[in-house]
Chains A and B, each alone.
Chain A
Amino acid sequence: MNSNFDFVKNRKYYFIVSLILVLIGVVSLLTMGMNLGVDFKGGSRVQVHVGKTFSEEQIKKDAEQLGLKPGSVTTAGDNRDIAVIQFADPITKEDYAKLTKAMQSKYGKHVDLQQSTVDSMVSRELARSALYAVLIASIGIIIYITIRFEFKFAFAAVLALLHDAFLVITIFSLFHIEVDLPFIAAILTIVGYSINDTIVIFDRIRDNLKKTKIKKIQDIEDMVNLSIRQTLTRSINTVLTVLVCAIALFIFGGESIRSFTLALIIGLVFGAYSSIFIASQIWVSLKERELKKKKKLAPANNEA
């Protein structure tokens, strides 16, 4: 790579940008929260594949005529032919059967329904256990990287990983995108990708660290800049191939995994960004602090 861009010099700004994003996320989560789907809120969600355009009002009326209490009806699908009916209270299997019959007799035999009814407790438990699992996994990652590299790398990598996962949650909260169960799987994928991506750059830094003698702060910055530049093509190409797959899934994969793939796309972009602009930079800051401490200590030792 012939790029002469100085990745390290402006690291303060990257930190500030990420910090602001994280703060926005915290505020957004505290004020707006997440747009929790049925999976987390409890209740029922019925997806009716009408097969032609329809009016949301009409569908709502149809459901009300059966004595049901639909919360909201929204339109989805590429051809705007899917009605999504949310029920705050779980609907019974008898009601679902009634609804199926009513829809099929009104809109034709080809109408297909999809239903999920959830006691929110179950998915909350799943989300909680996923969160704990990620935190414990972070500890495992820290231990492994500390053994193979050093603690500073481990700390930076895990911070970047949590940063990525949190920012995806932030975006979903900010734009009020509905969160369902596969969202957890998406977050986990991002965690896996983010750590993978970061390690490759760290590996190069470790490699170059052996070759260069670090005397002053500038040496560290030059070395990290070089490492990032050397791995830049790989970083870009890798994220491009994975992104291509994710975008193909987003466009052609159908309605039911759309929010899952959206989370992936956002997470992949953040993951690639954080490996270069956050993880590596945190390491630089840590390393420089260590160097300064040593320098301070060194003259003191001499005097004594």
Chain B
Amino acid sequence: MRKRKTSRIDICHMRSFFFLFLRMMRGLKDELVCQLSYFPLDLKLTVKNKGDYNRVYWLKKEEVRLMINWSRIVTFLLITLLVFGVIGVYGEKVAKSTTLGLDLRGGFEILYEVSPLEPGAKMTQQTVKDAVYAIERRVNVLGVTEPEITVEGTNRIRVKLAGVHDQEQARNVIGKPANLTFRDMQGHILMKGSDLAENGAKGVLDPQTQQPVVTLQFKDAKKFAEVTQKYVGQPMGIYLDEKMLTAPTIREVIPNGSAQIDGQESIQEAKNLAALLNAGALPVKMKEVFSTSVGAKLGTQSLQNGIKAGVIGIALVYIFMLAVYRLPGVIACIMISAYMFLLLLVQNLMDVTLTLPGIAAFILGVGMAVDANIIMYERIKEELRSGKTILSALRVGSQRSLSTILDANITTIIAALVLFQFGSSSVKGFAVILILSIVMSMLTSVVGSRLLLNLVVRSNLFKKPAYFGVRERDIREL
């Protein structure tokens, strides 16, 4: 087992030695034939030149092993270049396309508790769905991009609107039941908002009086004609919810199914009401149980603060890693950069909204990712101090640290999975980010870090323990 492993390594080195040697000989302008033969322990190199004069070089196994392997250094540099290249090209794009939560760009969030319109009636999933649909149409009226409307439990609807300028208007538009009814003198309902034609309500200026009015067009002109015929000469109340808007007297039968609501204060108000009526009545009563709103300027400020804190925190971590771990520290920094990029990317792909606590979790995730590196490097340092060579310290250290890192992270993932299963809204969101960041940190700080470290160590360019943050005098003899 052991033998096979070493021989594989040595053959790699032989090749690099061979090329190096060829280059050297070419300098001497000798025509040469190299013959390599491999013994279990040492390397025999036979060089033939023109004069049939054979020179045989014997190289100790240790010497071959210590040859600098440039191809590994080049691979290392290429990977590093690739990582930073991808971050450089796509980093800004990814960062910019991150969906920011409303605490970072202003907006508001309302949690409604919904109950049936008629007391005693039962709430079904269908009514909640209808309510969400109605809210969606109303939000569209506002022209808000990316509204987030989610159902929580059986009777709660959470509405998140980011980047709304006029919050008061938005709240009014969303929360109004907007149950339009036409009633007779005794309060009997004759027609309903649902009798309106599609987009049958319009907010316009009355061409005769120049007053803002809402014009209505009914689906069934015949039905409206019958109603007006029956109640001709009597006033008919037009109610929005329980409020009477206007009560025009029916002077004559209206055959074409159109009516008009007068008395609007402004053309804007008329248009709002028309939009509400077109969007349809809410099938439920809604009560605000939780609301939070953030001014747009404040949101931007929070975002800047968060980014500033992040940059400073991460910079300090980088400095710390470089100072304590030297060469592996450089690798840790490369991999943490990759980690941050990947986490942002995956968050984008999964449409996770970045909130302020999210930024905090993100930055802490960096700390956790660093931990995986620290565990491995400390283990390697420990092996180095015990007198092992760098290569075997790397092999033993990364192998032994793997089970530690796996156990620690799997335990945390289990906790996160349970939180996801049993937690509610924001606890769930937290669990998702936690799981994502653990998986990403395993990918970068375990797989990636190991790959780069192997390349660097096996290139034989860095042979002093000092490159790994280990002082010579701390090393014990084997």
Q: Which residues of A contact B (CB under 8 A)?
A: 47, 49, 93-94, 96-97, 110, 112-119, 121-123, 125-126, 129-130, 132-134, 136-137, 140-141, 144-145, 148, 181-182, 184-185, 188-189, 191-193, 195-197, 199-200, 203-204, 207, 230-231, 233-234, 237-238, 240-242, 244-249, 251-254, 256-257, 260-261, 264
Contact = CB atoms under 8 A, between A and B. Distances in A.
Nearest to B111: A122
Contact of A245 (B364, B412, B419, B425): B364
B374 interface: yes
Nearest to B370: A241
Q: Which of A115, A185, A240 has the most CB of B within 10 A?
A: A185
- Kindly name the residue among A97, A244, A260 whose own CB sees the greatest number of chain B CB atoms within 10 A: A244
Given A114-B294, A196-B409, A254-B306, A246 B404 contact: no
Q: Which of A94, A136, A137: most chain B Cβ within 10 A?
A: A137
B312 interface: yes
A247 B308 CA distance: 12
Given A126-B427, A245-B313, A252-B308, A234 B375 contact: yes
B411 A112 contact: no
Contacts of B305: 252-254
Contacts of B85: none
Contact of B371 (A129, A130, A181, A196): A196
Contacts of A193: 364, 368
Given A189-B430, A249-B363, 5 more contacts: A137-B415, A148-B407, A185-B357, A241-B371, A249-B310
A276 to B, nearest CB: 15
Interface string B156-199: 10000000000110011000000000000000000000000000
A129 B431 CA distance: 13
Contacts of A244: 313, 316-317, 320, 367
Contacts of A121: 289
B243 interface: no
Interface stretch (B136-144, B295-303, B346-354): B295-303
B453 interface: no
Nearest to B301: A254
B318 to A, nearest CB: 10
B290 interface: yes
Contact of A133 (B316, B321, B370, B422): B422
Question: What 8 pairs between A and B have smallest CB-CB spacing?
Answer: A248-B313, A242-B367, A254-B305, A112-B295, A116-B292, A119-B289, A252-B309, A137-B418
B10 interface: no
Contacts of B301: 254
Most buried by A among B111, B172, B290: B290
Contacts of A246: 313, 364, 367
Contacts of B374: 234, 237-238, 241
Contacts of B424: 125-126, 129-130
Given A203-B407, A245-B367, A257-B357, A133 B418 contact: yes
Nearest to B376: A234
Contact of A115 (B289, B293, B324, B370): B293
Contacts of A264: 360, 364
B33 interface: no
Given A49-B295, A117-B290, A252-B312, A93 B168 contact: yes
Given A192-B434, A248-B313, A252-B312, A119 B378 contact: no
A114 B167 CA distance: 11
A47 B292 CA distance: 11
Contacts of B426: 126, 181, 184-185
B411 A245 contact: no
A91 to B, nearest CB: 10
A218 B364 CA distance: 39
Contacts of B171: 93
A69 B359 CA distance: 35
Contacts of A241: 317, 320-321, 367, 370-371, 374
A129 B427 contact: yes
Nearest to B363: A245
A237 B373 CA distance: 11
DSSP majority for the B interface? Answer: helix
Contact of A140 (B302, B404, B414): B414
A148 B406 CA distance: 11
Given A193-B368, A203-B403, A238-B371, A114 B309 contact: no
A181 B425 CA distance: 12
Contacts of A49: 295, 297-298
6 contacts: A133-B418, A140-B417, A185-B430, A192-B415, A249-B306, A257-B357
A106 to B, nearest CB: 16
B360 A141 contact: no
A200 to B, nearest CB: 5
Given A230-B382, A257-B357, A249 B309 contact: yes
B408 A185 contact: no
B415 A141 contact: yes
Contacts of A189: 361, 364, 430, 434
A260 B313 contact: no
Interface in B308-358: 308-310, 312-314, 316-317, 320-321, 324, 356-357
B423 interface: yes
Interface in B250-294: 288-294
B357 A260 contact: yes
A122 to B, nearest CB: 5
Nearest to B295: A112
A60 to B, nearest CB: 21
Contact of B292 (A117, A129, A133, A184): A117
A122 B293 contact: no
B290 A119 contact: yes
Contacts of B95: none
Best-buried of B321, B357, B360, B434 by chain A (most CB within 10 Å): B360
B325 to A, nearest CB: 9
Contacts of A242: 364, 367-368, 370-371
Nearest to A39: B290
B415 A195 contact: yes
Contacts of B22: none
